[in-house]
Amino acid sequence: MNFESKLPNVGTTIFTIMSQLAVDHKAINLGQGFPDFSPDETLLDLVTQAMKEGHNQYPPMAGVVALRQQIALKVQALYGHQYDPETEITVTSGASEALMASILAFVRAGDEVIVIEPFYDLYIPVIELAGGKPVIVPMTAPTPQAPAYRVDWQRVRDAITSKTRMLILNFPHNPTCINLTPADLDSLESIVQETGILLLSDEVYEHLVYDDQPHQSVARRPLLAAHSIVVSSFGKTYSATGWKIGYCCAPKVISAEIRKVHQFNVFTVTSPMQVALAHYMKNEDAYLSLPAFYQQKRDRLLKGLANTRFVPMHSEGTFFLMADYSNISDLPEAEFARWITVEHGVGVIPVSAFYRQPDAPESNHGLIRFCFAKRDETLDTAIEKLAGI
Ligand code: PMP
Ligand code: GLN
């Protein structure tokens, strides 16, 4: 059959490729972001209970009411913004579906959407499916003097034109592990004030923030909240990435448009998990304890890497950590990632995969990404192998 692909540049995601390579070579998988431990038994029991109690048919299109109420309470408690569970919160099939529904609902052919590079792989293909044009604004790359990525908000502001429909944000940031600060929210407020732009804020790592720095959700500022779709994921928060349940919060008129796409994409999301999550969310400790839980893992990996030739970068948030390998090799990142997976038994992700042109020299800074959402034994075994390189 003769047809032209709508996504000619899309292949299999780097996460799938590297996980498969790790399986094929029996490597420890510190690549794709998922925990190698189970969710809390209590949560698992709540799912069984929900099924046995008969929550097995279609739940409401926008999500189980009790779950939306719990999300509203949490967001209000943590960030101070009150979303109406009835009209402003939608439970989705993972953060992925929330992101896709948001982009498809708002981006028309020819619209520009600003994406900050490096970026999570989903955004650009979805913008293109909607007929939009991604406009890439690069972060300032790390240098020996300033060894962290950062966003130049003036560059973001300068990229906004009359055609710009949306600005996509993702903090805590995958893969650079940087968080927003109150000063960043100030800059975003100025941008929104001047341009009225719609923000799509991917905050799936909202609960994974370290060193006593609270997550700076755009929902903290009324002006930003009024212009934002805030997306999160229960997969990250409750160590259940395979459940694919997330949600988005946005003002009523925006949520109404997102729901139009959601109802014809998946209509609704698996009911027993939603009922279980609604009960489980009442225990605030389950998410409030996450920074301490994951900070210990981050520091275990950091300490281990100190005995290797990798130079780790600081991770302020997410369950990832980047490390510089230029003391070991000058291979491009994709080749290096393959090499240590195959030859040294530790699967990782090349940071260049988060760039528009992964093979270009400008996208290669000698960095790989490790996921530390792993049991201590897994991290220790991986560190042992890395120390041998
Ligand atoms: N956004 C980012 C930045 C992510 O890292 C992920 C990871 N999976 C997602 C969205 C998708 O989340 P989900 O699995 O809930 O669809
Ligand atoms: N978000 C995960 C990561 O960055 C992967 C999700 C996926 O495999 N699509 O590793």
**Ligand 2, closest atom to CA 16?**
8
In 84-237, beta strands by DSSP E: 89-92, 112-117, 133-138, 164-170, 198-202, 228-233
Residue nearest to atom 4 of ligand 2 (CA): 33
Report the SS3 class of residue 349: strand
Give the up-direction half-sphere exposure of residue 227: CA atoms within 13 A in the CB hemisphere: 21
Cα–Cα distances in Å, from 139 out to 160, 316, 359? 16, 16, 18
Burial class (CB in 10 A: 0-12, 13-18, 19+), 162: exposed
| Stretch 122-142: mean pLDDT | 97
The predicted pLDDT at position 8 comes to 93
Ligand 2 binding pocket mutation candidate from 15, 126, 318 (most atoms within 8 A of CB): 15
Q: Show the tokens assigned to 321.
A: 């950590």
Query: Does residue 386 register a pLDDT over 90?
Result: yes
15 CA from centroid of ligand 2 (Å): 6
Q: How many CB atoms are located within 10 Å of the residue 264 CB?
A: 9
Model pLDDT for residues 17-75, shown as the tens digit of each residue: 999 999 999 999 999 999 999 999 999 999 999 999 999 999 999 999 999 999 999 99
Structure confidence at residue 99 as a pLDDT band (50, 70, 90): very high
Give the class (CATH, top level) of 14-39+288-387: alpha beta
Cα 2 to middle of ligand 2, angstroms: 32
**179 Cα: distance to centroid of ligand 2 (angstroms):** 18
| Overall average pLDDT of the 91-105 stretch | 98
Secondary structure E strands in the chain? 28-29, 89-92, 112-117, 133-138, 164-170, 198-202, 228-233, 246-249, 311-312, 320-324, 346-347, 349-350, 367-371
pLDDT for 144: 78
How many of the other CB atoms lie within 10 Å of CB of 285?
7
CA separation for the pair 337, 184 (Å, rounded)? 32
Ligand 2 pocket list (CB less than 6 A): 13, 15, 32-33, 174
Nearest partner of 220 among 247, 257, 188, judged by Cα: 188
Greater confidence, 8 or 145? 8
Domain boundaries 42-283, CATH class: alpha beta
How far is 233 from 211, CA to CA, in rounded Å? 22
Average pLDDT over residues 268-273: 98
Backbone angles phi, psi at 355, to 5 degrees: -115, 155
What are the extents of the domains in the chain? 14-39+288-387, 42-283
Distance 32 CA to ligand 1 centre (A): 11
Total number of residues shown for the chain: 389
Question: Best of 17, 32, 97, 176 to mutate for ligand 2, by most ligand atoms within 8 A of CB?
Answer: 32
Return the ligand number nearest the Cα of 202.
Answer: 1
- Of 187, 190, 188, 200, nearest to 111 by C-alpha is 200
Atom of ligand 1 lying closest to residue 236 CA: 15
Determine the average pLDDT of the residues in 357-370: 96
Instruction: Return d(Cα 186, Cα 361) in angstroms, integer.
Output: 33
Q: Token pair of 249, please?
A: 């919060």
249 CA to centre of ligand 1 in angstroms: 16
CB atoms < 10 A from the CB of 133, how many?
16
Query: Which atom number of ligand 2 is nearest to the Cα of residue 120?
Result: 4
Q: How far apart are CA 369 and CA 172, in angstroms?
A: 15
Q: Which amino acid is at 211?
A: D
Q: Cα of 185 to ligand 1 centre, how many Å?
A: 22
146 band by pLDDT with thresholds 50, 70 and 90: confident
DSSP 8-state assignment for residue 280: H
| Closest atom of ligand 1 to CA, residue 120 | 3
Question: Is residue 273 very low, low, confident or very high in pLDDT (cuts 50, 70, 90)?
Answer: very high
What average pLDDT does the structure give for the chain? 97
Hey, is 139 helix, strand or coil? Answer: coil
Nearest CA to ligand 2 atom 3: 33
Helix (H) / strand (E) containing 119:
none
- Residues 6+ positions from 361 with CB-CB distance below 8 Å: none
pTM over 0.95: yes
Distance 96 CA to ligand 1 centre (A): 6
Q: For the chain, how far is it from start to end, CA to CA, in angstroms?
A: 49
Each residue of 187-201: pLDDT tens digit?
999 999 999 999 999
Question: Measured from the CA of 32, which atom of ligand 2 is nearest?
Answer: 10
At residue 250 the predicted structure's pLDDT band, cuts being 50, 70 and 90, is: very high
